[in-house]
Structure 1
Amino acid sequence: MTQTLTLIDLEFGISQLSGNRALLLTLLNKFSDEYRQTDDKLQQLCASDDFDAARAHIHTLKGVAGNLGLRALHVACKEQEDALKAENTLPENYDTFIAVLNDTLGAISLLDDNPDATAPSGDADTAVAKAALLSALKANEFVPEAQLQEWLTSIFSDEAERNIISEFIDELDYQSAIDRIEG
């Protein structure tokens, strides 16, 4: 992935629901429940040569992800859907797709674990930024400087802490950055 995409665009998702943040969180939790078994389901469908059903499942997942503001997953679904149309087999980058799905589900669970997530405060946004940054670092992805600073500013109010983590990332010491963020 040459550009890191937002896992959950809360602002977009809320705008899709006329500003109803609580409804978005409810829908995200339902999404998580509905699509948690996607890997098993797709593996089973492909093993039984039911590629039409596999494409339909990914197509539906893509639409729901797009409507809820799950940007990275929406793009990953499109790639999988296109590859399944071209060949009746799981695409070579299927593992990357599942990683994006799992990262998205993890970010949703962080929102769910946050008791203040229904409040209009930045707590939910902080959880999403933290999940997105950790996901990018664990995947050894390049994060553009502007995106990195946006995430760090959302996560840490302390400029010194942001600078320490930025320095780790600049030195490609992702594990130290991860440990610091998770610590």
Structure 2
Amino acid sequence: MIIDFEFGLRQLNGNKSLLFRLLRKFAAEYRDLDTRLQALVGAESIQEAEDLVHTLKGVSGNLGCNAVYQDSRLVNEQLKHGEPDASSMQSLFDNLSKTLAVIDDLPDAENAAAPVAKPDEHLETLKAFSQALEQHEYINDEKLANWLATLSLPSSQQAQLTSAVTSLDYDQALTILATVKN
């Protein structure tokens, strides 16, 4: 199953328009993943490549994009060991392409009905994220991915935050979040 819509809906308390909006945002964010990831690997920027794939793994898992999630788990592990495999990356790109095709075929009516992110939801997420960092709470992948999805940050900031949080550099993560607040 390329996308498990039931799982995605459960993650978002049944809010179909929010799921479709987040899936479209996911598609926009990762449509050029193949180019970006190959460039990072080619430039031997393995840590940046790992951060990019780690964020993809979290977001795809939370949205129910199962095929991308499974492949990104494997590629993420390979990148952690500094050994990215071309066939694994190609499988990820192929499944991402299939996932994007499904997302592109979502009904337009759902897109038109999709609410714009509520400012209070954005502020609440920023506040919760900041408090967790200030109190040095452990932030698991799922919670991080949900916060990043709600904040709708550019991939570069998502990757920076993911890297800072996973390496437990919460001061750096707070610095990055401070730029989001402004």
TM-score higher than 0.5: yes
Q: Distance in 2 between matches of 1:24 and 1:49?
A: 35
Task: Answer with 1 or 2: which has the greater Rg.
Answer: 1
Q: Give % identity.
A: 37
Q: Which residue of 2 aligns with 1:82?
A: 77
Q: Aligned AA for 2:108? A: P
Secondary structure in 2 matching 1:8: coil
Listed one character per residue, the Cα deviations across residues 16-70 of structure 1 (whole Å, up to 9, x for unaligned) are: 1111000000000000000001001001111111000001100000000000011
Count of residues paired in the alignment:
112
| Alignment check: 8 A CA contact 1:80 1:91 kept | no
Q: Aligned AA for 1:84? A: L
Q: 1:9 aligns with which of 4, 11, 17?
A: 4
| Structure 1 residue runs of 4 or more that deviate by more than 4 Å after TM superposition | none
- What is the Cα deviation at residue 83 of structure 1? 1.5
Q: Does 1:97 align with 2:78?
A: no
TM-score by length of 1: 0.57
Relative contact order higher in (CA < 8 Å, ≥ 6 apart): 2
Q: Distance in 2 between matches of 1:89 and 1:116?
A: 40
Q: Report the structure, 1 or 2, having the larger helix content.
A: 2
Unmatched runs of 5 consecutive residues or more in structure 2: 112-182
| Alignment check: 8 A CA contact 1:32 1:105 kept | yes
Q: Which residue of 2 aligns with 1:109?
A: 104
- What is the Cα deviation at residue 15 of structure 1? 1.0
- What is the Cα deviation at residue 72 of structure 1? 1.1
- What is the Cα deviation at residue 92 of structure 1? 3.1
Q: Distance in 2 between matches of 1:82 and 1:55?
A: 8
Q: Which residue of 1 aligns with 2:142?
A: none
Q: Does 1:39 align with 2:37?
A: no
Q: Distance in 2 between matches of 1:76 and 1:89?
A: 12
Q: Aligned AA for 2:57? A: K
- What is the Cα deviation at residue 94 of structure 1? 1.8
Q: Distance in 2 between matches of 1:65 and 1:102?
A: 13
- What is the Cα deviation at residue 115 of structure 1? 3.5
Q: Does 1:30 align with 2:25?
A: yes
Listed one character per residue, the Cα deviations across residues 108-160 of structure 1 (whole Å, up to 9, x for unaligned) are: 1011xx23557xxxxxxxxxxxxxxxxxxxxxxxxxxxxxxxxxxxxxxxxxx
Q: Which residue of 2 aligns with 1:162?
A: none
Secondary structure in 2 matching 1:31: helix
Q: Does 1:63 align with 2:93?
A: no
Q: Distance in 2 between matches of 1:54 and 1:10?
A: 28
TM-score by length of 2: 0.58
Q: Which residue of 1 aligns with 2:13?
A: 18
Q: Aligned AA for 1:22? A: S
| Alignment check: 8 A CA contact 2:8 2:64 kept | yes
